[in-house]
Amino acid sequence: MIAAVPATMALAQTAENETVKARRAFYTMLGFEMGGLAAMAQGKVDYDAEAAQAHAADMVTLTGLHTADFYAPGTSKDDLPGETRALPVIWEDMGAFQEKGQAFGAALAELNTAAGEGLDALRPAVGKLGGACKACHDDFRAADF
């Protein structure tokens, strides 16, 4: 029975690490899609309505995932140093965290509408979505691992 305890702890640690990997992958994919939109908004690449709509649609699809799975208890920066930048305050004030997520969702809905309407519509929508991202990062994400 004593030998089972370390094995169980190792399995739990593996599950937590896998949760963090999934969460980081989710945000990496969102960042990839946002990068294409931001490049257009900043004039680094030419505006392409079809590409902008595809990036926005991909983000909408990603946010349709059941993301609660990515926030299992025991997966904060304090729990898994060097693996994540998620601050423990997420789990201490899940309501505030969810409010930031709702603001992100509202900004994404606006972006999804604006993406194909031209650069003048895209720019402020990308700015608003970027602001929603930053607001969450400011409160819930550490600057480094």
- CA torsion 16→23→76→17, rounded to 10°? 20
Query: Which residues make beta-bridge pairs with 84?
Result: none
* Residues recorded for the chain: 145
Long-range pairs of 126-129 with CB within 8 A, sequence gap ≥ 24 = 126/34, 126/37, 126/38, 126/40, 126/41, 127/41, 129/34, 129/37, 129/104
Which residue from 81, 100, 80 is spatially nearest to 90, judged by alpha carbons? 100
Q: DSSP labels for 37-66?
A: HHHHHTTSS---HHHHHHHHHHHHHHHTS-
| Distance (Å, whole) CA 16 – CA 38 | 32
45 labelled binding-site residue: no
137 labelled binding-site residue: yes
30 labelled binding-site residue: no
Q: Which residues participate in the annotated binding site for heme c?
A: 133, 136-137
Q: Which residues participate in the annotated binding site?
A: 133, 136-137
